[in-house]
A and B are shown apart, each in its own frame.
Chain A
Amino acid sequence: MKFEYAPAPESTAIVNIQSEYNLFIDGKFVPSKGGKRFETINPANEKVLSRVTQATASDVDKAVKAASEAYRKTWSKLTGAQRGKYLFRIARILQERAREFAVLESMDNGKPIRETRDTDIPLAAAHFFYHAGWADKLDYAGLGKNPKPHGVVGQIIPWNFPMLMLAWKVAPALATGNTVVLKPAETTPLTALLFAEVCQQADLPKGVVNILTGDGATGAAIVNHPGINKIAFTGSTEVGKIIAKSVASSKKALTLELGGKGANIIFEDAPIDETVEGIINGIYFNQGHVCCAGSRLLVQENIKEELLEKLKRRMSMIRVGDPLDKNTDLGAINSQAQLMKIRELSESGDAEGAERWSPQCELPEKGFWFPPTFFTGVSQAHRIAREEIFGPVLSVISFRTPSEAIEKANNTPFGLSAGIWTDKGSRILWSAQQLKAGVIWANTFNKFDPASPFGGYKESGWGREGGRHGLSAYLKGDFS
């Protein structure tokens, strides 16, 4: 049976995208000193949305000076309660303008409006609200009385959850009394620039938040600027290691949220229909552009066939297409470059002998698209079992005993997330104990909350974001 849906597009009338954007420094939008402009496009139709500025090293210097002055003269002079009130204001404005942010995010990123509307933006607002309440309670953050902020924090965020990652970074930094120089990802700068307007509406003191658009060169200028006291980076493990090496000879503090290759473990007694939903959510949420995606499906051998049949049936119902359609499940791949990477890795799966499956689905002609896909016959040595694909591609591996499942799940340099599906409570807790991963979802997957620490073991990064643990990364501890 085939269900037909009438198109249900979300209106774009709510957003007002300017043709060009300057940099947000010291409370104002200012032109760059010598920086060129580059286009940001809608990956669902390749239309140019706007032209933003490539911030130069001299722009970075200006932004760091503004942040440093704001730290010394205003932000550090406020009480925690006063800082908190600004964060509450920002949270409220984000709620008021939520739909505008959701539409803009969907257009610039390619992710479905259903997700930006129901997940990204509400969670971003919640992050500001949560951290607002921390600002006057830092004595209880676990670092002793009157803990001190670092000063100026440089923050570099990825394109997969642009506004949510901004909130994860900016909210705890401001709550703890730091000031910020933030660089959004090259392909998704627009919601960060809209956030600059929110800072203005909230009357946030000038220089407390500075937003510089640009590519890796701008990021490197931030990382290497001597006026920055802490770097917080979310992105690839490869770049994370480069940053760690760059700051090794400085006093800069560093937190990293990097890649993953999460194992989603399905035991034979798992509730099968819920598990199928969990697998779908684990790997096809946000086009698989999720560092904590459940990209390796470890399924107990005796239920593998049944599970894959159900998974195929469920995958056939995934609606791929216009991100602004409210019925869309899987939107556009964020960029041409990412699409090439997903294709290349998938082709390596074919070449190494794994078997590819995707449901029949029509992909739009314009834009960057990849169908929901899984591979069976995957060995532990295959690239698709080891490397982060960052797309809607699942590698299916089977196991016989619980110990074998754990062994395989932990057999990766990453350690960000893992999933456990079973009806047996003691097995959940045993598995959770054995898994070397920072976030374990048992009988659920891809849940996020400002109160819940998020971050990885091993090469998935340093530190946590969210909760008291995430907050403490923005305060100085007893490390010399």
Chain B
Amino acid sequence: MRVDVRKTYKLFIGGQFPRSESGRSYELFDAKGIFLANPALASRKDLRDAVVAARAASEKWASASAFNRSQILYRVAEVMEGRRDQFVTEVMAQEGVTKAQATKQVDAAIDLWVWYAGWCDKISTIFGSTNPVSGSFYNFTTPEPVGVVAAFIDGSTSLIDFVHGVAPILAGGNVVIAIANEEYPLSAITLAEVIATSDVPGGVVNVLTGRTEELAPWVASHMDIDGVDGSGLEPSAYEALKRDGADNLKRIYRFKAEGSPQRIIGFMENKTVWHPIGI
């Protein structure tokens, strides 16, 4: 019998896979109570490191052409497709679902990357405008990324929710710190490995695993985070996030389960430019 080689599930920060600086991890069991892994238990310092990495990557990602971002998101789907079996196995282990159900979810998750990839270079067309102002001025409005966005991943699924949490933020030109759902860190970290090998620049996506409740207050009070998707938080934690996040007026939302371009433009700011017309 071959003794299999098991994976250490680490964090994903600035394109690297470090353990938590705190040295902590937590035990993860499958639906039947069998040990699965010891994912990292991220600390406040890990979050701060992730914000530094994200901020450093922000300007380049925001100024990449929408077509370029679109191709990179599509590339994630391509690479994911090649590792379909691994995702299916992990979805089954974490959720205790059948292979057929897991396969359906993985396929849907891959297709979701394709859907969001296609949005990158449509957002400005659909959600921007030229504005017919009175007087001799040319006036237009374009949506632009807010910058660094943290996403608390919802836990209704182990994989699809993670894609909904990460892909739209990237599509809008933002960089993301995803806080994986506590129950489903495996899909999140495996997807991070896919992202690391899909031409997504280091720091554009950062993934933390651990206790949502522990990290939420530090996300709320961090002054260099511009927006938060609070979809994965309990109502009381979400309210606290909104309250504390008001100190730098973070853009804070939670979204319905289905995909919507609102997830993209929620973290975009509309910029309006005026210029006189004349000879």
- Residues of A whose CB lies within 8 Å of any CB of B are 126, 142, 237, 240-241, 244-245, 248-249, 256, 258, 413, 415, 428, 432-433, 437-444, 447, 449, 451-455, 457-459, 461-462, 464, 467-469, 477-480
Q: Is the CB of B249 within 8 A of A142?
A: no
Which residues from A are CB-within-8-Å of B274? 439-442, 444, 447, 452
- Tell me whether B108 is interfacial, beta carbon within 8 Å: no
Which stretch in B31-39, B89-97, B112-120, B123-131 binds the other chain?
Answer: B123-131
Chain B proximity of A187: nearest CB distance (Å): 26
Which 5 residue pairs spanning A and B have beta carbons closest together?
A244-B246, A449-B133, A248-B242, A248-B243, A478-B262
Which stretch in B8-16, B42-50, B79-87, B134-142 binds the other chain?
Answer: B134-142
Chain A proximity of B137: nearest CB distance (Å): 6
* A452-B255 CB under 8 A given contacts A443-B276, A457-B146: no
Q: Is the CB of B133 within 8 A of A479?
A: no
Query: Which residue of chain B lies nearest to A458 when distances are taken between CB atoms in the complex?
Result: B249
* A453-B272 CB under 8 A given contacts A245-B246, A248-B243, A249-B243: yes
Q: Is the CB of B275 within 8 A of A447?
A: no
Q: How far is the CA of A458 from the CA of B250 in the complex (A)?
A: 8
Q: Is the CB of B275 within 8 A of A454?
A: no
Q: Is the CB of A467 within 8 A of B141?
A: yes
* A455-B276 CB under 8 A given contacts A245-B243, A449-B139, A461-B249: no
- Tell me whether B213 is interfacial, beta carbon within 8 Å: no
Query: Which residue of chain A lies nearest to B129 when distances are taken between CB atoms in the complex?
Result: A468
Cβ < 8 Å to A, chain B residues 199-256: 226, 239-240, 242-243, 246-249, 251, 253-256
Q: Is the CB of A467 within 8 A of B275?
A: no
Which residues from A are CB-within-8-Å of B133? 447, 449, 451-452
- Tell me whether B23 is interfacial, beta carbon within 8 Å: no
Chain A proximity of B241: nearest CB distance (Å): 8
* A447-B131 CB under 8 A given contacts A438-B271, A462-B249: no
Which residues from A are CB-within-8-Å of B240? 248
Q: Is the CB of A438 within 8 A of B270?
A: yes
Other than A439-B272, A452-B141, give 12 A-B pairs with Cβ distance below 8 A.
A240-B249, A244-B246, A248-B243, A443-B276, A449-B134, A449-B139, A452-B274, A453-B270, A455-B270, A477-B262, A479-B254, A480-B256
* A440-B246 CB under 8 A given contacts A126-B134, A467-B131, A479-B262: no
Which residues from A are CB-within-8-Å of B273? 432, 440, 442
Chain B proximity of A349: nearest CB distance (Å): 26
* A256-B249 CB under 8 A given contacts A452-B272, A477-B262: yes
Which residues from A are CB-within-8-Å of B246? 241, 244-245, 248
Listed A/B pairs (24) with beta-carbon separation below 8 Å = A126-B134, A241-B246, A248-B240, A249-B239, A256-B249, A438-B269, A443-B275, A444-B274, A447-B137, A449-B133, A449-B134, A449-B139, A451-B133, A452-B141, A452-B274, A453-B272, A457-B269, A458-B248, A461-B249, A467-B129, A467-B131, A479-B253, A479-B255, A480-B255
* A440-B272 CB under 8 A given contacts A248-B242, A478-B255: yes
Q: How far is the CA of A237 from the CA of B139 in the complex (A)?
A: 27
- In this complex, the member of B240, B260, B273 whose beta carbon has the largest number of chain A beta carbons within 10 angstroms is B273
Which residues from B are CB-within-8-Å of A457? 146, 269, 271
Which residues from B are CB-within-8-Å of A452? 131, 133, 139, 141, 272, 274
Query: Which residue of chain A lies nearest to B127 when distances are taken between CB atoms in the complex?
Result: A142
Which residues from B are CB-within-8-Å of A443? 275-276
Which residues from B are CB-within-8-Å of A441? 274
Query: Which residue of chain B lies nearest to A432 when distances are taken between CB atoms in the complex?
Result: B273
Q: Is the CB of A454 within 8 A of B249?
A: no
Question: A-facing mask of B255-271, CB < 8 A → 1, else 0?
Answer: 11000101100100111
Which residues from A are CB-within-8-Å of B239? 248-249
* A244-B249 CB under 8 A given contacts A457-B269, A480-B255: yes
Q: How far is the CA of A442 from the CA of B274 in the complex (A)?
A: 6
Which residues from B are CB-within-8-Å of A240? 249
Which residues from A are CB-within-8-Å of B146? 457
Q: Is the CB of A464 within 8 A of B270?
A: yes
Q: How far is the CA of A250 from the CA of B269 in the complex (A)?
A: 24
Which residues from B are CB-within-8-Å of A126? 134
Which residues from B are CB-within-8-Å of A249? 239, 242-243
Which residues from B are CB-within-8-Å of A428? 275
* A440-B271 CB under 8 A given contacts A256-B249, A452-B131, A467-B131: yes
Contact of B249 among A241, A442, A447, A468 (CB under 8 A): A241
- In this complex, the member of B240, B243, B251 whose beta carbon has the largest number of chain A beta carbons within 10 angstroms is B243
Q: How far is the CA of A433 from the CA of B65 in the complex (A)?
A: 13
Which residues from B are CB-within-8-Å of A444? 137, 274-276
Query: Which residue of chain A lies nearest to B269 when distances are taken between CB atoms in the complex?
Result: A457
Chain A proximity of B189: nearest CB distance (Å): 27
Chain A proximity of B125: nearest CB distance (Å): 12
Q: How far is the CA of A455 from the CA of B143 in the complex (A)?
A: 12
Query: Which residue of chain B lies nearest to A249 when distances are taken between CB atoms in the complex?
Result: B239
Q: How far is the CA of A237 from the CA of B255 in the complex (A)?
A: 26
Chain A proximity of B59: nearest CB distance (Å): 9
Q: How far is the CA of A373 from the CA of B131 in the complex (A)?
A: 34
Which residues from A are CB-within-8-Å of B126? 142
* A469-B242 CB under 8 A given contacts A241-B249, A444-B137, A453-B131: no
Chain A proximity of B279: nearest CB distance (Å): 13
Q: How far is the CA of A258 from the CA of B246 in the complex (A)?
A: 13
Which residues from A are CB-within-8-Å of B134? 126, 449
Q: How far is the CA of A469 from the CA of B239 in the complex (A)?
A: 26
Q: Is the CB of A478 within 8 A of B271?
A: no
